[in-house]
């Protein structure tokens, strides 16, 4: 190959990549009931948009044994999926057109895997819901449409599939479209479009079908190309949940994570939650170098002008656009657990990168998907959708889901099985509170003035003699006129005592419990101090009193 040819080839590749990078990105979820034809539809889109490798096409043609291409084989990747003929897990596919890049979430339709459907649709900008023209609108169709609306997907295409088996009868199409339109009228979609298609024969998918002259001629692919592209989070309030604290040497302390919404610039004044300490952005670092500004969804490392105690799960936001800080909240919940909701049990709420103990205090109502009515319900079963009141053990730094999909969503985990049992979307404070929740009419400063001290947790861990050390420290602090108490191994009780203004000495002889207790204390927004059991009691008392002096 000549040098000129090599240069020409490189230029073509670079030009192709540059053109590809400028294309708009659309995230699409394809949902529907079992056997509605999701895999066949996605396989045809990939095939007709050249989104497949040659060996994939050759393998499927061989599997089709010279007959019609079975397009579902392009997407049913798991052996169990092929054996059962259903989609089990969420799979992400990719294809591009002249105008845009499309990431497709191929989600399962079986009732058992509704959780996977919700996962795949949670990041989508648009959704296609398939309806089998022979079977009509099914309960699972309504459930998927309602979940899509809960997740804030604005654009919905209803693809009435298998019209070839109904002789492309316009009456069938119109009946199903009218039925679904009546159902979806109150769900809040910005746009709902209906398409008579056959995924098997390719009608109205990428090319208009001559067998549907009564249809306006728009194809499903054409609709996808005209939609507004991904909903950017740049205009939303700046939110930065901290994923890792980077400290490679004594001179560098940065906070790594992804900007989930908004934009940040050098010098911006920010607030760190839950401590509410104010500081400024000193540096925005990336692998390629430092930036003057960065916006969602960039992953960056932020350095601050002040030494602020920050750990994983804390959140950084602009001072003028603060998030909500809630412990009691109302939320919409989609229950995935095989076991029913137990309102007397404790669960774990995972919000951004943080876990918080919580319990679901009350089911306010359960949505009846047949008529969208709100029904009273004492508990929830598999795939129920309901409005609930959630009580968290510690404040959650969040936004209503309608304002921010990333900081307004959470999942519920069963701490005994580690299973994800529900997905939730935050509506706001319990009882429609517009501001952060007030948990006491007595302020921390009033308690400090009355008791002559600031409430705090003193952590002692790791030796068999730690109990004796805790009791000696309690005696010594009491003799100094401090109000104190000891708690064995329960961070929640220690935090409650500290919030009441006491010096709570939290101790445990189990060394492995130290990290967990530290994590719970860091996220609680209450002053705390870790002491060494090996220190003499006078040294411990001096450290406690020095820390009290510095507490604002």
DSSP of 214-265, one letter per residue?
TS----HHHHHHHS-----STTSPPEEE--EEEEEETTEEEEEEE--BSEEE
Q: How far apart are CA 387 and CA 363, in angstroms?
A: 6
Consecutive H or E run containing 359: strand 354-368
Q: How far apart are CA 69 and CA 56, in angstroms?
A: 12
The per-residue pLDDT for 78 is 44
Q: Which CATH class is domain 324-429?
A: mainly beta
Both tokens of 79, joined, read 């052996």
The per-residue pLDDT for 308 is 81
Q: How far apart are CA 159 and CA 45, in angstroms?
A: 14
Q: How far apart are CA 536 and CA 91, in angstroms?
A: 59
Contact 254, 377 (CB under 8 A): no
The per-residue pLDDT for 59 is 78
- Structural domain spans, the chain: 12-226, 233-318, 324-429, 444-550
The per-residue pLDDT for 161 is 93
Q: How far apart are CA 255 and CA 476, in angstroms?
A: 38
pTM for this one?
Answer: 0.72
Average pLDDT, 10 consecutive residues per value, the chain (552 residues): 52 72 82 82 87 77 75 63 51 81 77 67 85 90 87 90 94 94 86 93 92 91 83 75 87 90 92 88 91 90 88 88 90 89 90 87 88 88 89 88 88 87 89 57 83 90 86 93 91 87 90 79 79 89 87 66
Q: Give the domain 233-318 fold.
A: Elongation Factor Tu (Ef-tu); domain 3 (2.40.30)
The per-residue pLDDT for 523 is 65
Give exposure, 515-537, as e/b (b: 16+ Cβ within 10 Å): eebbbbbbbbbbbbbebebeeee
CA 26 from centre of chain: 18
The per-residue pLDDT for 108 is 65
Q: Give the domain 12-226 fold.
A: Rossmann fold (3.40.50)
Both tokens of 244, joined, read 């890792």
Q: Which CATH class is domain 444-550?
A: alpha beta
Topology match between the domains 233-318 and 444-550: no
Q: For 209-251, how does the pLDDT look when each residue is reduced to its tens digit (9 = 90+)?
A: 999 999 988 999 999 988 876 565 557 899 999 988 888 888 8
Q: How far apart are CA 357 and CA 349, in angstroms?
A: 6
The phi and psi torsions of 242 (rounded to 5 degrees) equal -80, 125
Contact 296, 404 (CB under 8 A): no
The per-residue pLDDT for 432 is 54
Q: For 31-69, how does the pLDDT look when each residue is reduced to its tens digit (9 = 90+)?
A: 888 778 888 898 888 888 877 777 777 777 777 776 777
- The residues, ordered by sequence, that sit 6+ positions from 368 with a Cβ below 8 Å of its Cβ are 374, 375
The per-residue pLDDT for 274 is 81
Coil, helix or strand for 94?
strand
């Amino acid at each position: 190959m000549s040098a000129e040819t090599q240069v020409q080839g490189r230029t073509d590749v670079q030009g192709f990549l540059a053109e590809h990078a400028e294309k708009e990105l659309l995230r699409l979820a394809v949902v529907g009931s079992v056997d509605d034809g999701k895999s066949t539809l996605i396989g045809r889109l990939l095939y007709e948009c050249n989104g497949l490798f040659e060996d994939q096409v050759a393998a499927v043609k061989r599997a089709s044994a010279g007959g019609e291409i079975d397009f579902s084989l392009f997407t049913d990747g798991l052996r169990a999926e092929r054996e059962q003929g259903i989609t089990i897990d969420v799979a992400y596919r990719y294809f591009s057109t002249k105008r845009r890049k499309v990431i497709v979430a191929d989600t399962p339709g079986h009732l058992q895997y509704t959780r996977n459907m919700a996962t795949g649709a949670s990041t989508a900008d648009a959704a296609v819901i398939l309806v089998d023209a022979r079977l009509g609108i099914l309960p699972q169709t309504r459930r998927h449409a309602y979940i899509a609306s809960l997740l804030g997907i604005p654009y919905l295409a209803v693809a009435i599939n298998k019209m070839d088996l109904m002789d492309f009868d316009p009456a069938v199409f119109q009946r199903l479209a009218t039925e679904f339109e009546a159902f979806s009228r109150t769900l809040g979609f910005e746009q709902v479009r209906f398409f008579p298609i056959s995924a098997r024969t390719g009608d109205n998918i990428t090319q208009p079908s001559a067998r549907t002259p009564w249809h306006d001629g728009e194809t499903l692919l054409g609709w996808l190309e005209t939609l507004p592209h991904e909903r950017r989070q740049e205009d939303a309030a700046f939110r930065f949940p901290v994923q890792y604290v980077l400290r490679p040497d004594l001179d560098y302390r940065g906070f790594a994570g992804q900007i989930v919404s908004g934009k940040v610039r050098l010098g911006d004044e920010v607030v760190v939650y839950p401590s509410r300490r104010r500081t400024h952005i000193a540096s925005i670092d990336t692998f390629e170098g430092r930036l003057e500004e960065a916006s969602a969804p960039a992953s960056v490392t932020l350095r601050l002008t002040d030494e602020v105690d920050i750990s994983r799960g804390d959140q950084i936001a602009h001072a003028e656009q603060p998030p909500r800080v809630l412990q009691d909240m109302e939320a919409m919940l989609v229950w995935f657990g095989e076991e029913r909701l137990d309102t007397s049990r404790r669960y774990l709420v995972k919000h951004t990168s943080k876990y918080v103990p919580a319990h679901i205090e009350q089911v306010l109502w359960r949505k009846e998907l047949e008529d969208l009515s709100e029904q009273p319900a004492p508990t929830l079963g598999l795939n129920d959708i309901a409005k609930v009141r959630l009580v968290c053990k510690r404040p959650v730094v969040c936004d209503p889901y309608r304002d921010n999909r990333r900081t307004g969503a959470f999942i519920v985990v069963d701490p005994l099985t580690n299973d994800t049992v529900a997905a939730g979307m935050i509506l706001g404070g319990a009882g429609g509170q517009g501001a952060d929740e007030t948990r006491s009419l007595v302020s921390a400063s009033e308690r400090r003035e009355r008791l002559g001290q600031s409430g705090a947790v003193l952590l002692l861990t790791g030796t068999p003699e730690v109990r004796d050390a805790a009791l000696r420290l309690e005696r010594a602090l009491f003799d100094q006129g401090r109000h104190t108490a000891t708690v064995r191994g329960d961070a929640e009780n220690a935090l409650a005592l500290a919030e009441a203004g006491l010096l709570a000495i939290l101790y445990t002889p189990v060394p492995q419990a130290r990290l967990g207790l530290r994590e719970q204390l860091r996220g609680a927004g209450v002053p705390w101090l870790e002491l060494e059991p090996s220190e003499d009691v006078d040294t411990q008392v001096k450290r406690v009193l020095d820390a009290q002096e510095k507490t604002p």
